[in-house]
Structure 1
């Protein structure tokens, strides 16, 4: 029997099996696509179903967590509701902007929180609106650690961190009045102070579920608090939280274990960035760090969680990876970072998401090759509220305006980016006085 006679049954099988969000699933999908031969009507794997925990997604395009500074008073609001619902698709996953789990956690103006009852209540209409359109939404819990300033701290206290080393002066922080300043010297947390922060994550994870969120993502990347414990360029501790990989990953897993004990693993996700040097967050051996985290995750999934797995592991890869080609022979740092992503993907026993400079073509290639299960988009999703549709039909994309990313305006650069139908209408309309 020729393989082409099997193509449509196999394709139907793939598209009806949302659990195929793994190595084997990607391999089966590739086999099905090969069997389909030149049939170009088949949707790319990027638009095939996938499961995260017990939740079924209809496609693999994810809204990345994006700080937008549109929550005056740390309260979610109607403008945020419009922003998130604009980007909602049936069965699509949205991850919120970083959300503060305590009054010591913020490092940007107008960042929402979820540690007060009024904040929980303010999130509910947003979550309900996303659910009403069939979307899935996770809340990202984000503590910036030393990447803060006394103006964001209660009574002008120092920010907290794994260290008392301030960020280098080349890094500037945006203040509520629109000016920029250097970061102050942080307070190095004592071992006795750490359990309180762990409990704040647990408490706010429960608050997120109370607000109706489908799950939470723990932000452990990009040089923020948890990453300040993970990276040996920052962590200079000599106690149980510093030195060895076991020690440097201790805080991360204390937070993770506390949150999982409250929600179960399938409503919890983790974001890491072993190779990202943002906010001076370098590590002398990113592969060893990432591998240690993945190994401990796998052990928990097999032994402590009785086979249950995290909703997903979210790894950030450097933006410059988009410029790599498979024919490159430079063997430089970029290729080493690409190899790191592949190594972590190969080692991790669970759903694997990546972000960082993806185009439509790279995202399709990454999913169909089995390199990733899900792709999160940031800047492209800012400028294209209907990004999923545009990627699906390969439509032109709006350009983003970087100047409005953190401006605070509730409309401009936030909810006023046009949908595809609106741009098509503008193009199709004849100019006044034309002879068309």
Structure 2
């Protein structure tokens, strides 16, 4: 994991990645990245690659208050502070491009949530409370997207990627996991369309594949990645019996794109264990870089690398409480545990629980 990586476009000083994590610390109103966020990412720039928290590609793409966007000039300028801070420390940083789909409320986005079909499930997001302040609120009934909505959303992702390049990012990762917009198009439970974006696997893959192709044509394939979560049921009520077959079909379509990486999110929320047999199937159909995240330890991550199941290993909450995680792994120093106090400051707030975790003192 400490070995440098060199792909067709992405080069990193090690294989350790800081996974994307919503922290809700942007400046409100305007959802603008700020100096505190730049300091947060700078502290963790020893990672081979940082993937930012999800950044909505438009106002309607938002589902959580105080998450930093990538669709206004002020947001672009704010993100420049972040990318400059990381690059000054010798790090690399991708921005995660996000559309939450039906996991939203009009009090957050200013519009009806969008989905492949007008199907709502019980779900909550972080938004404004009726009595003031912010907290968890129930999502709203979504609107089934028209084909015009789909094309407009693809355009939003393309513009967001162009904005990301202006902001100095090394690349973009499309969030197609965890029950958000693209994930709901992939799954039968949430996609009951009768047009060319629903029904067959080919049709349900179309929206995501078309978006990724548009991004690679705009900023280059080596600067585009995607996150998926076939073994996670977050944002859904049931299990998808053909999700493995669908995922392998997706990877076959992605193979010729030569993306920077495909990122598998695992072992969070409602999930099933990932088998070695699945990882071997993935490697047979997809020969480009693979990243895995999900409750990894140093030992389990190294196993994935040793068995060539992954090229990158991503860590989320360990990076919250250990800004110097790479050094701690390198020297086998003890980790600061992610405990109940850390959970209280995960979403929203100020410097406490965000940029005040110290580096290890031997």
- Pairwise mapping of residues 14-93 of structure 1 onto structure 2 (< 5 A)? 46-73=1-28, 74-89=31-46, 92-93=48-49
* 3-state SS of 2:69 partner: coil
* 3-state SS of 1:181 partner: strand
What residue is the counterpart of 1:402 in the other structure? Answer: 343
The alpha carbon displacement at 1:197 in A equals: 0.4
What residue is the counterpart of 1:387 in the other structure? Answer: 325
**1:321/1:334 contact within 8 Å kept:** no
Regions of 4+ moved over 6 Å: none
Asked if 1:197 corresponds to 2:148, the answer is no
Residues in 2 aligned to 1:225 and 1:321: alpha-carbon distance in whole angstroms: 18
* 3-state SS of 2:11 partner: strand
**1:53/1:310 contact within 8 Å kept:** no
What residue is the counterpart of 1:376 in the other structure? Answer: 314
Asked if 1:356 corresponds to 2:311, the answer is no
- Pairwise mapping of residues 270-419 of structure 1 onto structure 2 (< 5 A)? 270-280=226-236, 282-298=239-255, 300-301=256-257, 309-319=258-268, 334=273, 337-400=275-338, 401-406=342-347, 408-419=348-359
Q: Structure 2 stretches of 5 or more lacking a match? A: none
Cα 1:339/1:403, change in 2 over 3 Å: farther
The alpha carbon displacement at 1:320 in A equals: 9.3
* 3-state SS of 2:156 partner: helix
**1:321/1:338 contact within 8 Å kept:** no
**1:71/1:110 contact within 8 Å kept:** yes
Asked if 1:174 corresponds to 2:112, the answer is no
What residue is the counterpart of 1:325 in the other structure? Answer: none
For each residue in 1:118-169, what CA deviation from the matched residue of structure 2 results, as whole angstroms up to 9, or x when unmatched? 1111111110111111100001101000000110122xx211111111122x
What residue is the counterpart of 2:114 in the other structure? Answer: 160
Cα 1:52/1:148, change in 2 over 3 Å: farther
Q: TM-score, normalised by structure 1?
A: 0.78
* 3-state SS of 2:54 partner: coil
**2:251/2:285 contact within 8 Å kept:** yes
- Pairwise mapping of residues 97-112 of structure 1 onto structure 2 (< 5 A)? 97-112=53-68
The alpha carbon displacement at 1:284 in A equals: 2.0
Considering only aligned residues, what root-mean-square deviation do their CA atoms show, in Å? 1.8
The alpha carbon displacement at 1:412 in A equals: 1.0
Residues in 1 aligned to 2:3 and 2:203: alpha-carbon distance in whole angstroms: 40
* 3-state SS of 2:262 partner: strand
**2:185/2:198 contact within 8 Å kept:** yes
**1:320/1:357 contact within 8 Å kept:** no
Q: TM-score, normalised by structure 2?
A: 0.93
Q: Structure 1 stretches of 5 or more lacking a match? A: 1-45, 302-308, 323-332, 425-436
Indicate the structure with greater helix content.
1
Asked if 1:144 corresponds to 2:82, the answer is no
What residue is the counterpart of 1:11 in the other structure? Answer: none
* Number of equivalenced pairs: 352
Residues in 2 aligned to 1:167 and 1:101: alpha-carbon distance in whole angstroms: 24
Moved more, 241-250 or 175-184: 175-184
Residues in 2 aligned to 1:249 and 1:76: alpha-carbon distance in whole angstroms: 32
Cα 1:293/1:173, change in 2 over 3 Å: same
Residues in 2 aligned to 1:338 and 1:222: alpha-carbon distance in whole angstroms: 22
The alpha carbon displacement at 1:338 in A equals: 4.8
Cα 1:144/1:321, change in 2 over 3 Å: closer
Cα 1:352/1:163, change in 2 over 3 Å: same
